[in-house]
Amino acid sequence: MSPPIDPVAAPLDMRGIGFSIAGHQILRGVSLTVQPTEVVCLLGQSGCGKTTLLRIAAGIEQQTTGTVSVGGEVAADPTRFVPAEHRPVGLVFQDLALFPHLRVADNICYGLRSAARRRADVETVLDQVGLAGFGKKYPHQLSGGEQQRVALLRALMPDPAVLLLDEPFSGLDLNLRDAVRDDVMRVLRGRGTTAVMVTHDPQEALVTADRIALMRRGELVQTATPQEIWDSPVDLEAARMFGPVSAFDAPVSAGAVVTPFGSIPASGLPDGTRASIGFRPEALGLHATADSDRPRGNVVGRRFLGSVVEYAIALSASDSICTVRVPPSQAKHADEVFISADPAQAMIFASE
């Protein structure tokens, strides 16, 4: 058996990770480095390989190709494999796996060797997540959100080099999910914990991550900050991961692309290139009056979403359907409207 890795504060480093099972390729050449104190979200649709990648980092699965380093030391390569129990990682998975016969304090401190630390730390950490005085309760006496907080604390108590979380909030209702997530992130930031979290919720990734690692069909397609990945997605499919995008295809001519909303500069794309131009719903506006740059459209769908009203607009001059979101104060009740676009918010890609 390989010796345990020294749990120093260092990044998780995964290079060229491939994984196959029964001849089916799950991961292809994935490389990801997570820096100390950084929170990275693995984002992607179900089946894209993000949980498999997390399990490989944890040592629950062994990659087919590539190298995993944890805490600055190699944990798995073609000649070495350190099992999960000897890696300095903390694990929080969807099923939580709390011990039902142990009280909360004993669950949190399970596996810690120092009795003095158990006594000194348990009430402090419980108070940090709003569970002061819960140490003597059993898991079945807790709500789902309270159990989630306990699972987090148990994973954090050994001071892991990396905390791995697999969709930890997916089982909670919407309002509770936000509150628990805020508590968890406050604790992680306060302790300077390096963390990797799997999620299929793009909004969750945007509000929690320092960087988002966007996965698709077993590959890592883009790694960037939330702002960067929102403003400059790598392609149209990446843009649509974060919500609806109204897109138009046209050739680049004289450094620009002609859209229903006028000419949009296409810097970086040579003339003759077929381009896709996308607009998020917030980049489009609704108007009751005509203008030379405003195409006419018919309202084919309208949804009130609280802070915004979302419209589906069929453009009269084409077969395109645009999604537009405006504040309720700017809502239009007519069946025929005119649409404007903010050129600064246009996203332009070479057509696939």
* Cβ 161 vs Cβ 71: under 8 Å: yes
Q: What's the burial of 101, exposed, middle or buried (CB within 10 Å: 0-12/13-18/19+)?
A: exposed
Residue 299 to residues 199, 260, 313, 315, 327: CA-CA distances in angstroms? 34, 17, 5, 9, 16
Whole-angstrom distance, CA of residue 7 vs CA of residue 258: 56
Average pLDDT over residues 213-218: 97
Closest by CA position to 161, among listed 184, 193, 113, 125? 193
**Type of residue found at 119:** R
Average pLDDT along the chain: 89
Angle at 114 (CA atoms; ends 109, 120), nearest 5 degrees: 70
Q: What is the pLDDT of residues 251-264, one digit of tens each?
A: 999 989 999 988 99
What's the pLDDT score for residue 210?
97
Q: What is the pLDDT of residues 284-340, one digit of tens each?
A: 999 988 877 789 999 999 999 999 999 999 998 788 899 999 999 999 888 999 999
Q: Give mean pLDDT, residues 136-161.
A: 88
Q: Taking the alpha carbons of 44, 47, 48, 52 in that order, is the dihedral positive or negative?
A: positive
Answer yes or no: are the C-beta atoms of 277 and 332 closer than 8 Å.
no
Are the beta carbons of 18 and 27 closer than 8 angstroms? Answer: yes
Per residue in 163-210, pLDDT (tens digit) is: 999 998 887 888 788 888 888 898 899 889 999 999 999 999 999 999
- For residue 201 the two structure tokens come to 């919720």
Q: Rounded to 10 degrees, what is the CA torsion of 194, 200, 203, 207?
A: 0
Checking if the pLDDT of 141 tops 60, the result is yes
Distance separating alpha carbons of residues 87 and 69, to the nearest angstrom: 10
Give me the mean pLDDT over the 36-50 stretch. 95
> Is the pLDDT assigned to residue 7 strictly greater than 60?
no
Query: Residues 6 or more apart from 127 whose CB is under 8 A from it?
Result: none
**C-alpha closest to that of 172 among 185, 183, 184, 181:** 181
Q: Residue 100 in contact with residue 140, Cβ under 8 Å?
A: yes
Helix H or strand E encompassing 153: helix 144-156
* Residue 85 to residue 60: CA distance in whole angstroms: 9
Q: How far is CA 48 from the centre of its chain?
A: 13
pTM across the whole model: 0.89
Q: Please answer whether residues 94 and 46 qualify as being in contact, where contact means their C-beta atoms are separated by less than 8 angstroms.
A: no
Q: CA torsion angle for 323, 325, 328, 330 (degrees, to 10)?
A: -90
- Separation between Cα atoms, residue 76 and residue 54, nearest integer Å: 14
Measured in whole angstroms, the distance separating CA 267 from the mean position of its chain's CA atoms is 29
Sequence-distant (≥ 6) Cβ neighbours of residue 340 within 8 angstroms: 261, 284, 285, 287, 291, 293, 294
Ordered domains of the chain (ranges, CATH):
12-231 (3.40.50.300), 244-350 (2.40.50.140)
